[in-house]
Structure 1
Amino acid sequence: MISYKKLLHFKLCSLPSAFPTECCANSSRSPIKLKAELYALQFEYDSAGILYQQLWELDTTHVENTYNYADFLSERKQYDKALSFYNKLLNMDIKKWRRGNAYSFMGNIYKETGKFPEALVAYQKDNELYEQLYKVDKGNSFYKKNLAVSYEKLGEIYQAQGNFGKALEYFSLYNNLTQLENQKPQSIDY
């Protein structure tokens, strides 16, 4: 019987020969990305980090590589480095929803590290972008969900700062938007 570790080792060793690294660096399913994900699943974070960094270095302008590396760093609580990569992402030509998500993730880091004023600014930028997106396309459940999450995060950060009036305002906006979803669940596609 083959163990999971042996199977994983076989999979990792076979990837580079199966696909040339340079050809697939920009693919969301590149061998390097697959290896990094597999290492992370095995709790081999140092190896995963090296591969995420290599993938980013192959093309520093590739949005998804930058995003994946920033997310990995954030999950590993390497907050300063993660923030620098989220900032790199914000300096790229990216869609509004990605920009909003980057601000949201930055807000999460600031909140986690007790930097509430910075978290508030990041969450406000996230909220502003999703309000714009939702205003243009109210039928888009992705925008609606992320707008609701932005309201919730603003409520949480105001609550953490002791501004309970503002917290209540944003929690109410969150509840109003999510109640609307609960009334018409068949139209929700996420």
Structure 2
Amino acid sequence: MDKLLTEIRNCKVCEKYLELGPNPVIAASSKSKLIIIGQAPGRIVHNTGIPWNDKSGDNLRNWLGIDKATFYDTNKVALMPMGFCYPGTGKTGDLPPRPECAPLWHNKLLALMPEAKLILLVGHYAQNYYLGDKKDKTLTETVKRFKSYLPKYFPLPHPSPRNNIWLAKNEWFTHEVLPELKKEIRDIFE
């Protein structure tokens, strides 16, 4: 695992497309029990090199019901984005994750995490990649049907503050999905 993580952190495959240059952000261990596959680092995470070190991370930890110490313990949680580097800024926010990363690195990483019990698919990029034609037409419908993807996957919306409107329109997520998510997480770490 250490060799692979070093390779990923030194990756420059899509360097010419990255406005701030490469800075792959990954946290994983061969002992990780929970794998969180998100989108791509934002500017704050790019600058600090710490995954989910922003408001989205605060929201995600709250959804999971775990503290920072647990979240950043790689023997418990692997933090693996679809794109390992900050992709840059677009017209309405960050650009999509670079398409090179997941095919290049994900299978190698997953093969080295045999103790993983659950993979959280955070946002539509991760859901599209991992669920393919098994996902519903919309992220909302996919998240509503989260039980059908268990025990391997648990789809979630992105916890960005930009999604507060979605959360307000979909109160079922807070009342129905989050309690089940927290139970799954408790079961993994007990």
Q: Place the TM-score, normalised by the shorter chain, in its bin.
A: under 0.3
Q: Please, what TM-score do these two structures have when normalized by structure 2?
A: 0.24
Q: Please, what TM-score do these two structures have when normalized by structure 1?
A: 0.24
RCO higher in structure (CA 8 A, sep ≥6): 2
Higher relative strand content: 2
Larger Rg: 1
